[in-house]
Every structure is written in structure tokens, then in C-alpha cells.
Amino acid sequence: MEIYLDNSATTKPLDEVVAAVNHMMTENYGNPSALHRRGLEAEHAVKKARSQVASLFNTGNHDVIFTSGGTESNNLAIFGSLSTIRDTSRPLVTSAIEHPSVLNIFKHLEKNGRKVIYIRTDAQGFIDLDEFKKALDDHPALVSIMTVNNEIGSIQPIAEIARLIEACDEKPVFHTDAVQAFGKIPLPSTAVDLMSVSAHKFHGPKGIGGLFVKKGARLAPLMFGGGQEGNLRPGTENAPAIVGMGTAAAWAEARLSENMDKLNQLKASVINGILKEISGVRINSPISPQFAPHILSVSFKGIRGEVLLHSLEQDGIYVATRSACSSKKKSRNHVLEALQLSPDEAEGTIRISFSSFNRQDELDYVIEKLKHHVASIRRITGWRG
């Protein structure tokens, strides 16, 4: 038996996505920019996919720029916006728990002389709105706050943040990394100027993502070439992956409410099972409208998360200890530090992330194996609680 519970790192592509990609590679393989029939057929398929992706965001006020994924979208959003703003004295605002593809951009900018304000979070992973309001008094040029945290699933109050930004005399650009939200939860349709998404987080292909750009938002390209994607992302369109992303977006839109309900049920069953069967546990991602339904972060005292991960792997169960982009680094986990976890709790944290294809019988087996392995590891470490 194989039970895949690392769906925040990546998801298995839908069968219909694989079929759509295969069709584009073997049948509809023309260059979308070509003027002949093959090119026009590919262009039509890309246009349909763009509409499908836009429909999932439910807005007619943003253009979709296809990119290679969430990391490129975040870079294009932040660097592209700042290239259009002449006043480099204005600070930049982000949170302390952003994904590395955002946080490392700001660290780079900080090293090169830009002032960056990092908004702290509370013990549940929500930004301090009073601190954010104070930061807005410094007239920032750009704000980047993620929608759903990739490690603990906290959902930031994006609509409230947007309302505060709208009230500014010198309105900053507002960007959100929505990679863990898009296709998983409803999104505010007009709240942001720029929004990054990635297909492989909602059963689409790897290597394709998008940046939603609000009409009228100023953005400069990072690369130059033939002028594709509104002169913002040149290069021959990755039509197979784009069509695969569109197929996944249409699937997610049709089942959004149904999938949310199922994911919350699966998550609740695992939380209840863990709390019933295992002591010395902290749940970092409770069942709540303020937390994404597909992400569950759990801290087990007296163990190392990496040891538990590999123990579960022996039983065909796949989980994570932290973001896949940071999993091979030995540095401290900035998200868990922001939650003020004790060193013991932080070291024993794993992330379980669900998809709608997981089943209750699988999760019953997971609880059984978790109980066994946690007890076994604690006997070795001598933890008594």
C-alpha cells in the first residue's frame, strides 16, 4: 500500500491532465505564434486554457501571464513591480513566514540597500495587523503577503489587508503568493494587484504556473524576446503544460466546495485520531475557516521529524517535515520559529497534506502506524512526557 500525504509539495496529475498534455505533444503540437493551421489550433487551445485558469480566480479584472511556476511568478511580480517604481527610498513589506521564493528575494533586496519590514505573526501564524498598519505609515512601495502558508496552512486576511492598502495615500503594489490556495479555497477576486499560482499544486503538470496581473498594474519584464505573454514573459509558449494547467483548473473549479468539505473531514479524522492515540502532541493547523483544509502540521515531542518521516516511509506512507524547497537544508525553520514552538516541538514537526483522492481507510492505517512509530522512537530517545 502507498499512501501519499505530501500534496503541498506536489500532487499527482489527473488522468485527464496527462491525456491533455499528451494530445498537445503528439497531435496539437504547433507553435501558438505560427500563422498556419497548426499554429492557430495550438493558439486556440492556449486561449481556452487561459480562460479556464482565469475562471478559477473568478475575476474579469486580471490578465493571466503564464510562467514556469510559482517561483518565477513571485520573482516577476516583485522585481517587475519594483522596476517601475523610481523612488527606491520607500520600504518593502512582507511577512516573516513567506515561502523561500519570496523571502529570499527580500533578503537579496535588503543586502542591496532596500529597507524591508518583516511583519511578525502570532503563535498560530497570522500576521499582526496592528504592526502591518504601522508599516503602512512608512509609505511602502510594495507589500507581499502569502494567502496560505505552505507549512502550517494559516490563511492570511487578504481582503482586510487589501482594504488597509486601499486607504493609503500612496498605495503600494499588493502581491500575494497564492500557490497553496489556488484551486483549494475561494479567493477574493479583486483584492490584489498581483497573484502567483502553480499548476502542480492542484493536480496539473510541473513546470507551469501563472501570474494574475490586475488591469492597469505596472509591471516590467525580467526577460526580453519575442513578446509572448503580453511582453512580460517571452519565449515559445509551453502549450502542453498550459493546456494541462487549464484542464486541472476546470476540474478544481467544478469541485471546489466538494473537495474542501472532503479535505476538512479527512483532516479532522487525522487530528482526532492523533489526539486520541498519542500524547505529547501539538496541532499547529486546527480545523478552522482560518486554516486551509489540505494542510496539517503536527509536532510530536521527544522525536525527530525526519526520523518519523523515514519510519513512515517504510510502511509506504509519505509525509514531509517542512517545505520541499527547504527540506534538504540544515538551517532552522523560520515558520516554526515564528510560531514560537519549543526546540523539542520544532524538531518533532511533520506536515501531512491531503488531496481529495485520499481515503478514510488509508488514514486509519496512518494513525495506527503513527502511534507505533512515535512510541518506538520515544523508547529509543528516552522521552517520558
Backbone dihedral region of 49: left (phi > 0), alpha (psi from -120 to 50 degrees) or beta? alpha
How many Å from the N-terminal Cα to the C-terminal Cα in the chain?
A: 32
Mean pLDDT of the 301-317 span: 97
Active-site residue, from 220, 307, 324, 325: 325
The pLDDT of residue 61 is: 83
Q: Confirm whether 325 is a catalytic residue.
A: yes
The sign of the CA dihedral 89, 94, 96, 102 is negative
Residue 326 pLDDT exceeds 80: no
- Rounded distance between C-alpha atoms, residue 31 and residue 36, angstroms: 9
φ, ψ (nearest 5 deg) of residue 194: -140, 135
Q: Is 216 helix (H, G, I), strand (E, B) or coil?
A: coil
- Rounded distance between C-alpha atoms, residue 117 and residue 143, angstroms: 9
Q: Is 340 helix (H, G, I), strand (E, B) or coil?
A: coil
The pLDDT of residue 68 is: 97
* Local confidence band at 369 (pLDDT 50, 70, 90 cut-offs): very high
- The radius of gyration of the chain from alpha carbons, rounded to an integer in Å, stands at 21
| Full set of structural domains in the chain with CATH | 15-254 (3.40.640.10), 256-381 (3.90.1150.10)
| Cβ neighbour number for residue 43 with a 10 Å cutoff | 18
* Local confidence band at 340 (pLDDT 50, 70, 90 cut-offs): confident
Residue range 103-152, pLDDT digits in tens:
999 999 999 999 999 999 999 999 999 999 999 999 999 999 999 999 99
Q: Nearest-CA neighbor of 308 among 358, 361, 385, 375?
A: 375
Residue range 47-97, pLDDT digits in tens:
999 999 999 987 778 999 999 999 999 999 999 999 999 999 999 999 999
